[in-house]
Amino acid sequence: MKCKVCGQTAHVALNSHNTGFCSKCFCDFFSRQVARGIESQKLLAKQEPVLVAISGGKDSLSLMLELSRQGYRVSGLFIDLAIPDSSGIARQVVERFCKKHGLDLQIISLADEGLAIPLVKAALNRPVCSACGKIKRHYFNRAAIDGGFAALATGHNLDDETARLLSNTMRWDGAYLSSQGPLLEAENGFARRIKPLWRLSEFETANYAFIEGIEHSCASCPYSPGASFTTLKNILGRLEKAMPGRKLDFYQSFLKHGRPVFAASAPKAEDALKPCENCGSPTSSGDLCGVCRIRIAVRERIQA
Ligand code: AMP
Ligand code: FES
Ligand code: ZN
């Protein structure tokens, strides 16, 4: 196969676009898709400072590199979860990446916050993954607001987003369907949240990371039985193979026709939100936010 742009030997075949690219033209394609994803959904302006949540995985590191190359004012945020055999490796990868590319990095250590994930797991009588997600989102938001950033960016890609969309649709979960998308505007104490890789598949991001020589961490979390939405991702992968382009179409059509309908009938969040008495973060779950309640549970468990 020949590169669609320059005619040299293609190194990356993209069935969904019915085409192939050499390495250089593929990276140009990747950049255009990121730019189109940002511009079409009005995610971010060039002059706005953006905090990029980098986990050490290929998606968020590719995102950070690409945004910085496109001239965005990026700064990295890594949350050290204190999980043995995975957090330390990811932290070193992230530190080396930011040093190599001369990018700012902030690290929040959950051990210092009294929320090391192994302790949270021991203190809760339910799966730790949802609590871990809640804690990460809490610190993403705090760091973005306290640091004066216009937005918080994550490395979610098209496969993550379509699998989540299918999951929400199968439950006809109106609340989630009203707010799912690459842009969540800032409101009620929450920073703007953006997902600039929403047009790119996991395969495409993996190729970009490989071509750009991005060292990333593959250490999986010992507490998750597998990557999230694996079954739905496999089903959508089979659909994409049979009907190239369907995944992007499914997501884009939802953004255009589906989300506005659900958003119109969603209850207003601010009615239920008030500041946490301890940390000031917006919460709908009583006097204390969920994260402050988890911190108390961890402390009680240690003292018991
Ligand atoms: P995940 O939920 O693990 O698939 O991660 C989704 C996105 O959340 C990643 O692409 C990152 O942008 C961000 N993220 C996940 N874990 C961390 C972490 N420990 N520190 C900073 N960002 C993270
Ligand atoms: Fe949070 Fe596994 S429980 S990454
Ligand atoms: Zn709180």
Average pLDDT by stretches of 10, the chain with 304 residues: 94 87 97 98 98 98 98 98 94 98 98 96 90 97 98 98 97 95 95 98 97 91 78 96 95 97 81 88 90 96 87
Radius of gyration of the chain (CA): 20
Determine the 3-state secondary structure of 179 from DSSP: helix
Cβ neighbours of 152 (radius 10 Å): 24
Query: Which residues, other chains included, contact 163 with Cβ-Cβ below 8 Å and sequence gap of 6+?
Result: 228, 229, 232, 233, 236
pLDDT of residue 223: 86
Whether ligand 1 lies within 6 angstroms of the CB of 78 is answered as yes
Q: Whose CA is nearest to atom 4 of ligand 2?
A: 221
Do residues 230 and 137 lie in contact, with contact meaning Cβ atoms separated by under 8 Å? no
Q: What is the pLDDT of residue 38?
A: 98
Q: Of 224, 181, 191, which is closest to residue 55 (Cα–Cα)?
A: 224
Phi, psi at 141, each rounded to 5°: -65, -45
Q: Give every CB contact of residue 170 below 8 A, 6+ residues apart in sequence.
A: none
Q: Rounded distance, CA 253 to CA 247, Å?
A: 10
Judged on CB neighbours under 10 Å (0-12, 13-18, 19+), 66 is buried
0.75 exceeded by pTM: yes
Mode of pairing for the β-strands spanning 49-53 and 151-153: parallel
* Atom of ligand 2 lying closest to residue 132 CA: 1
pLDDT for res 271: 64
The rounded distance, in Å, linking the Cα atoms of 83 and 81 is 6
- For residue 133, the ligand 1 atom closest to its alpha carbon is 2
Q: Ligand 3 (ion): which residues have CB within 5 A?
A: 276, 278-279, 281, 289, 292
pLDDT for residue 304: 79
Contact 241, 201 (CB under 8 A): no
Say how far residue 85 (Cα) sits from the centre of its chain.
22
Question: Is residue 135 lining ligand 2, measured as CB closer than 6 Å?
Answer: no
Helix (H, G, I), strand (E, B) or coil at 101: helix
Tell me, what's the pLDDT at 126?
Answer: 82
pLDDT score at 15: 82
Question: Does ligand 1 lie within 6 Å of residue 155's CB atom?
Answer: yes
Which listed ligand is nearest to 135 at the C-alpha?
2
Q: How far apart are CA 124 and CA 131, in angstroms?
A: 9
CB 250 within 8 A of CB 165: yes
Q: What is the pLDDT of residue 181?
A: 98
Q: For atom 1 of ligand 2, which residue has the closest CA?
A: 132
Residue with CA nearest ligand 2 atom 2: 221
CB of residue 132 inside a 6 A radius of ligand 2: yes
